[in-house]
Amino acid sequence: MERSQSGANPAEDALKTIVDMQYWNPSGISEDWLIIVNRLYMSRNKVLRKRNALIDETAKRLAWA
């Protein structure tokens, strides 16, 4: 699998970018999905599927699902 400059694989980088831009923005204002989509060069549906998968995995780890 290809590695990015940060050392993580590109899929992990995409998830980190989604979380950082939507939920951990220092200004306290989440980014619009269109901005995130453009940053990742992905469709809106693909980004939202990744976000949903991340939420599902988090719920499993917290034993909520």
Summarised one tens digit per residue, pLDDT across range 19-36 is 999 988 888 788 889 999
Can you tell me the distance from the alpha carbon of 65 to that of 60, in angstroms, rounded to the nearest whole number? 5
pLDDT-based confidence at 44, cuts 50/70/90? very high
In the chain, where are the structural domains located? 10-61
The reported pTM is 0.76
Is it the case that residue 65 has pLDDT exceeding 90?
A: no
pLDDT-based confidence at 7, cuts 50/70/90? low
pLDDT top residue among 49 and 7: 49
Q: What's the mean pLDDT when you consider all of the chain?
A: 86
